Amino acid sequence: MATIPLWALGKHISTISLWLQSVNTTSGVLADIGTAGTSFFGHSSEISLDNTVNMENISTMDRPYAHNVVVETDTTLKITENEKSAGTNLAASLAFTGSYVRYVVTRGAQSFTGYGVLGDYSMNSSGKGNVKGEIQIRQIDIGSTAPLVYG
């Protein structure tokens, strides 16, 4: 029986949604603002999720081999949106509306769920009518659970 390798099926990102978060100033608890998130599905030209692992070498002076230990991780989500001439441009709207977000990026049967702070926003035009807005979401420490969950 003929088969196609699973990596060749090209499962694409099927949803990407963000929820602005309110912060309880007494407890620090984050909560979704509203029930509907902002869906970038169908608006995005590029999505990048970068996870960085920072390590420290803690080998002894008498050993010729490095022994790296993870000291922290950092995740950055970048979304590039095809902006339009009328209506709401999601990246710009988020960039100038709130601070903290919860996001879910679904690819095939897996998803990445994370929390972050809205970072840099940029708008670029190729000069031929294509205007793109890019927003970056940087990881925050949310306490006892991981700020990015894959599953």
Residue for token pair 């309110």:
22
> Sorting pLDDT into bands at 50, 70 and 90, what band is 49?
very high
pTM exceeds 0.85 for this model: no
Each residue's pLDDT tens digit, 102-128:
999 988 788 999 999 999 999 888 777
Distances (CA, A) of 75 to 50, 126, 148: 6, 28, 8
The reported pLDDT for the residue numbered 11 is 59
Phi, psi for 121 (deg, rounded to 5): -130, 140
The reported pLDDT for the residue numbered 10 is 59
Distances (CA, A) of 27 to 33, 130, 140: 17, 44, 16
Contact of 59 with 65, CB cutoff 8 Å: yes
